[in-house]
């Protein structure tokens, strides 16, 4: 409260921070008739009340794996959130009393409106603050106070990284963009048309059909690094062919460099890459840490996608209690673990296998949790923001949440499955060639048969004509003899 005594010009702030009836006073301003109000301090409320007089705060945390409690940077068996709380206690002059270590974060029991786990301790008033990475949710914020988020992270669906690489059937087309492929095809067609036009003008030939197909095959052969069986004598045709050869060499070099980049990059074959495809796959069970925010989210959410995912979740008794147990299941069973990037960074080298994270599009905020309407919440937030401005929070994150360095992978020689696209192209080309051979053979046989039938018809017609001519000649000869006989008579 703001206090001014009757005969005193000083205006003071009186406040008490605990139940010991000890009042702390601060001179705020001086009020005199001659000078008016004169400020005696420019400190804000939180700067003035930085000292809480050794107040005891009861704290609790969720049990961590013993290996996580050993910080490699300073060798202290303290988790990151607990370390930050110790720094806050030093800055604000309060004492911490550790009450209990809980097995779970806790969820809301809707039947009696009671929370379980460490949140149940807060609700009952047994502790004042929870110093673990507790996720902020709407239901939790309605029941408890949260400090400023210490970690903002992305939620992901983690699975074990598959061992094999997928056959990239379209990797041979990814070297160029679609527009370049279209431009290349148009260039080949136009080049064939131009060569046909030039040859017809030079050779004075009107039959364009055969020349167009032939030149089209010539141009395709040049871009496939094939030579010409005969180089033309005309200077104009030579210039045209040399230009096509140069463009083919440049495109071939660019394509070779680009395709090597695609073929040498190891791309794990993921069974799904979205939440919708995960549900559609249906072969991976879903797990979350039991009695966590994620467990509560899947149990209470009305989101259609999350409800479909919840049908794939293991039974509650089979769900892991800690992150270590969850990762063990991921590495040894066919399950997907819904968690955060912060979890993966925290576990670091303790992860038994390589993980692949599927983005969920959700952002999670992790923070201290206090009892509802706790008077220290705003003061703790002020000092946390100061830590962020001073770089202390960044230093803490680097110490405790180290990026996982993946071990160097030894790649095996390319097997038969790795060159399956090339073998497929070769087989399809061979089949197409044989098919074209049979078609040409059939066409040739049909043409020969038609020619033979035409020749036979021509010879039959000729024979008939000769026979008719012979008969006519004989008749004329007989009639001539008859005339001569009559004359002799």
- Would you say 199 and 160 are in contact if contact means Cβ atoms under 8 Å apart? no
Please check the confidence at residue 72 and state whether its pLDDT lies above 50: no
| Res 74: pLDDT | 44
Give the residue, 335 or 204, on which the prediction is more confident.
335
pTM of the model: 0.66
**141 phi and psi angles, rounded to 5 deg:** -70, -25
The answer, yes or no, to whether residue 306 has pLDDT greater than 60, is yes
Exposure string (b/e) for 217-233, b if CB count within 10 Å is 16 or more? ebbeebbeeeeeeeeee
- What digits encode the pLDDT tens for the residues 246-286? 999 999 899 888 888 776 766 677 888 899 999 999 999 99
Instruction: List, for residues 75-93, the tens digit of each pLDDT value.
Output: 444 578 888 888 888 888 8
| The pLDDT of residue 328 | 93
Q: Residue 220: how many CA atoms within 13 Å on its side-chain side?
A: 8
Among 114-128, 140-154, 416-430, where is mean pLDDT lowest? 416-430
151-160 vs 108-109, strand pairing mode: unpaired
What confidence category does residue 201 fall into, taking pLDDT thresholds of 50, 70 and 90?
confident
The residue ranking higher by pLDDT, 350 or 169, is: 350
Q: Could you report the per-residue pLDDT of 277-301, keeping only the tens digit for each?
A: 999 999 999 999 998 999 999 988 8
Per-residue pLDDT band at 349 (split at 50, 70, 90): confident
Strands 108-109 and 95-102: unpaired
Q: What is the dihedral of CA 213, 426, 271, 329, to 10 degrees?
A: -160
Distance from the Cα of residue 279 to its chain's centroid: 17
Place of tokens 């205006």: 11
Q: What is the pLDDT of residue 73?
A: 41
Dist. CA 203–CA 205, nearest whole Å: 5
CA atoms 325, 328, 334, 336: torsion sign: positive
Report pLDDT for 369.
Answer: 94
What pLDDT is recorded for position 298? 92
């Amino acid at each position: 409260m703001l206090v001014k005594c009757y005969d005193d010009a000083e205006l003071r702030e009186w406040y008490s921070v605990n139940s010991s009836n000890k009042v702390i006073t601060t001179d705020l301003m001086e009020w005199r008739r001659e000078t008016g109000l004169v400020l005696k301090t420019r400190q804000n409320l939180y700067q003035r009340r930085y000292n809480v007089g050794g107040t005891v705060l009861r704290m609790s945390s969720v049990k961590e794996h013993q290996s996580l409690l050993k910080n490699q940077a300073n060798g202290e068996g303290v988790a990151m959130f607990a370390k930050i709380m110790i720094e806050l206690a030093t800055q604000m002059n309060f004492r911490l009393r550790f009450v209990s270590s809980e097995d779970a974060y806790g969820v809301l029991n809707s039947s009696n409106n009671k929370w379980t786990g460490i949140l149940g301790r807060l609700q009952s008033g047994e502790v004042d603050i929870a110093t673990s990475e507790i996720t902020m949710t709407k239901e939790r914020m309605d029941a408890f106070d949260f400090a400023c988020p210490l970690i903002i992270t992305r939620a992901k669906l983690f699975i074990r990284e598959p061992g094999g690489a997928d056959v990239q059937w379209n990797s041979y087309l990814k070297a160029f963009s679609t527009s370049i492929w279209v431009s290349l095809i148009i260039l080949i067609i136009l080049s064939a048309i131009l060569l046909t036009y030039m040859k017809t003008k030079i050779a004075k030939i009107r039959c364009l059909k055969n020349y167009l197909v032939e030149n089209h095959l010539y141009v395709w052969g040049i871009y496939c690094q094939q030579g010409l069986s005969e180089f033309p004598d005309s200077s104009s045709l030579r210039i045209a062919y040399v230009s096509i050869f140069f463009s083919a060499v440049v495109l071939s070099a660019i394509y070779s460099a680009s395709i090597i980049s695609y073929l040498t990059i190891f791309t794990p074959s993921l069974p799904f890459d979205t939440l919708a495809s995960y549900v559609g796959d249906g072969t991976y069970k879903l797990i979350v840490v039991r009695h966590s925010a994620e467990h509560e989210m899947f149990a209470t959410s009305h989101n259609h996608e999350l409800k479909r995912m919840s049908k794939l979740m293991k039974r509650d008794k089979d769900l892991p209690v800690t992150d270590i147990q969850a990762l063990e299941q991921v590495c040894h069973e066919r399950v997907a673990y819904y968690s955060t990037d912060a979890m993966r960074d925290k576990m670091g080298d303790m992860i038994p296998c390589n993980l692949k994270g599927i983005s969920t599009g959700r952002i999670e905020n992790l923070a201290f949790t206090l009892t509802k309407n706790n008077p220290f919440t705003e003061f703790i937030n002020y000092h946390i923001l100061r830590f962020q401005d001073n770089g202390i929070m960044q230093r803490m994150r680097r110490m405790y949440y180290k990026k996982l360095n993946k071990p160097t992978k030894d790649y095996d020689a390319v097997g038969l499955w790795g060159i399956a696209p090339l073998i497929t192209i070769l087989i399809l080309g061979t089949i197409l060639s044989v098919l074209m051979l049979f078609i040409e053979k059939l066409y040739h046989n049909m043409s020969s048969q038609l020619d033979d039938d035409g020749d036979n018809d021509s010879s039959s017609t000729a024979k008939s004509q000769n026979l008719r001519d012979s008969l006519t000649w004989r008749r004329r000869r007989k009639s001539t003899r008859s005339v001569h006989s009559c004359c002799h008579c």
